[in-house]
Structure 1
Amino acid sequence: MIEEPPVLTLRRSFPRPSAAQIAAFRDVPTGFVCDAMGGQGALSSDIQPIGGGRDIDCRAVGPALVADNGPAEILATMGALHILEPGDIILSAVHGHRNCSASGDQFCGMMKNKGAAGFVTDGEMRDYDGIVEVGLPAWCTGLSPNSPYSNGPARAGFGAVIGGVRVESGDLIVADRNGVVVVPLAEIDRVIGRLSKVKELEGVLEAKVREGFCQMAAIEEMIADGRAVIED
């Protein structure tokens, strides 16, 4: 006979990025971060700033605190509040379940009171006007007024697959109006080391575009050596 799991399991202590590591990603566009990771790292584009970011400045950087709720559940997120440290970003995994809210305005208010830097879910949210009043940056797949349950089993402080990406508590989250990016804890310093090059290249290209640049040298080379053909 399979033993019944605990209704709720919490892990308070897990490795986290340092303050200096977090600071290195502040005000860095998510596109730059993805470029520094070989063009990858973003959660599914189904996960967007709530309301398209029109009413809340949806930007956040901080350690992931993963709440693995399961479909139509919220117990792990409730538990995550008890182990949350200021600056954490709660990632609520509901396994992509739709037509049920993963959080509303009151819960966002509690997260903000505890010091959360943001909230991300692969499910939906509700109480839009109230969430705007609270002002906590949030990312979700849409809105639904239906209520979740809190039956468990649930785990917080561990890991889960969210938006097609495996996220572990302690990974670094960088999120803005373009989406949510996960930087694995072990990769943070390597990504920081590549960011300066990405910024440099972007700066050079931006200056060239402003000066009128409009054709890629690579395409011209392909035409010249026959790899590309222009048909009139």
Structure 2
Amino acid sequence: MPKYKLIYFNARGFGEMARMVFAQAGVEYEDVRFERDEWPKFKPYTPFGQAPVLEVDGVQIADSAAIARYLAREFGLAGKTRIEEAQVDMFAGAAYDLIKPTIDIYNAEGEKKAELVKKFQEETAPKFLAKFESTLAENKSGFLVGDGVTWADFTLMHFMSWIWSQLPEDFATKYSHVKEHGKRVESLPKIAAWIAKRPVTAT
């Protein structure tokens, strides 16, 4: 078994998908965390000046999606066929596209922030959530692809845990399958155990 080291801020953020893959697979790894003010010390040793970084026997892999995808394929959480793998990548990518505007919202102020919130609530979120909702309604397994959990489910569940706070309450009734999906993934025994023991962080 390779030696794994995940290096990221002391936060859930973009490192959490990899941590959930490790948890679901039952694979041990070194969870290296650093505080915001320590980032300048770590940054020069990352491939692109970004975190997270995964080290596999000393070989570095950057980009949170690339990391989660690699681990999921190693541990059987990326789809059972090539078509399923492509679908998993598609839905995970869509979840990333959904979360990106919220970063701009978080960093904006005043009228610009209000403008971004309006666009997100009226255009971006409905477009993506409608597809997630219909997919989950059609796939009777309760997951996005196939008959079991994949890293796309971890990605959607994790990002939606933040996105729900950016949306009006009635969105939860419009997209009930998405809401239930999050609860379903969180309640998986190994994921629930990870959530219960992981460090408590603001993000």
Shorter-chain TM-score tier: under 0.3
TM-score, length of structure 1 as denominator length: 0.22
Structure possessing the higher relative contact order (Cα contacts under 8 Å, 6 or more residues apart): 1
Larger strand proportion, structure 1 or 2? 1
Larger helix proportion, structure 1 or 2? 2
